[in-house]
Structure 1
């Protein structure tokens, strides 16, 4: 089925009564067993597991930091909330160091330069990242920049 594209002349078709549309799937079982996203993990230089559900506004990934690992500095137009599952480290947001440990949540504003560091030399760190990337992608305004690559 072709997706309808709306223009200003179709504003009258925005109704106050939403309609439930059954999504293709409601469950992604065993996310980490489905496998690491190779391209994104290689670019980010740490393991990333995508949660594959048909969301149009938010995304969720599981990120991992190896012992002592520091990610590349990067930024994007979408917001991120990290929920730390295990480990201890920090996220550098612009010039501010935000220390975190399991159970903490960290907010990364849109277009802020940031990177993550696992402070343990022996144990990995893991987090869930929730972002509004799909919403901005669907609007055509999602941008992502890696320091040193895209400048």
Structure 2
């Protein structure tokens, strides 16, 4: 078998894996010694907020949440908005979060500690830390980008999320 055939077979194996939900013991041979570029289904998600909020998640969190729909298997990104004065439910998850504040000012309470933030700040939320967010303005909304390693942990089968009031 020549190199092109091996790469084609490798690419077919990886593409087949992308269609599977998870590897099983019979798939051990689909781990290859050399990376192969497989073009994802799409590389850009245009007008994220115009695509609409995620209704169920927005309702649960009590603030608008817009999922960035890109085919990453390791990192997710959402755009979160807080209405004037809004306070979210306490929740925690096994994945880490980094927030980047696009506009507004408020705080994130992490395990009882208030961490104030404003436009241009970044906030780190460790895994499994109880936290919630509040917009400190009574007149202006706040908006942030949240980046998380949730897909990576979901693909490993170890992602957990707990909402106060729903799960407790």
RMSD value, Cα: 1.6
- Cα deviation for residue 7 of structure 1 reads 2.7
Q: Are 2:144 and 1:127 aligned?
A: yes
User: What's the TM-score, normalizing by structure 1?
Assistant: 0.93
* Aligned positions of 1:2-151 closer than 5 A: 2-3=19-20, 5-7=23-25, 10=28, 14-151=31-168
- Cα deviation for residue 8 of structure 1 reads 8.6
Distance 1:9 1:88, change over 3 A: closer
- Cα deviation for residue 15 of structure 1 reads 3.5
User: What's the TM-score, normalizing by structure 2?
Assistant: 0.84
For structure 2, list consecutive stretches of 5 or more residues without a partner in the other structure.
1-15
Rounded Cα–Cα distance in structure 1 between residues aligned with 2:34 and 2:79: 35
Aligned length: 150
Instruction: Encode CA deviations 1:44-66: one digit per residue, 9 max, x unaligned.
Output: 00000000011100000000000
Instruction: Encode CA deviations 1:56-93: one digit per residue, 9 max, x unaligned.
Output: 00000000000000000000001000000000000000
SS at match of 1:135: helix
Rounded Cα–Cα distance in structure 2 between residues aligned with 1:148 and 1:105: 27
Structure 1 segments (4+ residues) deviating >2 Å:
1-10, 12-16
Query: Of Structure 1 and Structure 2, which has the larger fraction of its residues in helix?
Result: 2
Rounded Cα–Cα distance in structure 2 between residues aligned with 1:42 and 1:6: 36
